[in-house]
Homo-oligomer: A and B are copies of this chain.
């Protein structure tokens, strides 16, 4: 268990601009760097660099279309990223639950063993 997280993949989706980029491509289909930059508060070059990062970790793939470079999401890789999010989330969630349970147990123990100071 505790599937080891891929730090490269994680930090790729850790950047807010890259997350928005993935959102845009996911909702409207493959697009070019210029087209995407028009819908984000960053320049075309910044978008191009982010797409290069996403491409390096396999989250998007690029295909030439006329004079454009059209980027689309790699569904399998994004699915892996989603799995990692769920994995870390559930791991922390489990620990939080365990801590809470332990705290309740301690509380109960102190209540039963010494029913003295605390009124009620």
Contacts and interface: CB of A to CB of B under 8 A. Distances in A.
Interface of A: 5, 7, 10-11, 14-16, 19, 22, 26-27, 75, 78-79, 81-82, 85-86, 88-89, 92-93, 95-96, 99-100
Interface of A is mostly: helix
A-B complex: 9 closest residue pairs judged by Cβ atoms? A14-B14, A85-B89, A7-B16, A82-B89, A26-B95, A85-B85, A82-B92, A82-B93, A86-B89
A26 B16 CA distance: 26
Contacts of A26: 92, 95-96, 99
Contacts of A22: 92
Contacts of A27: 95
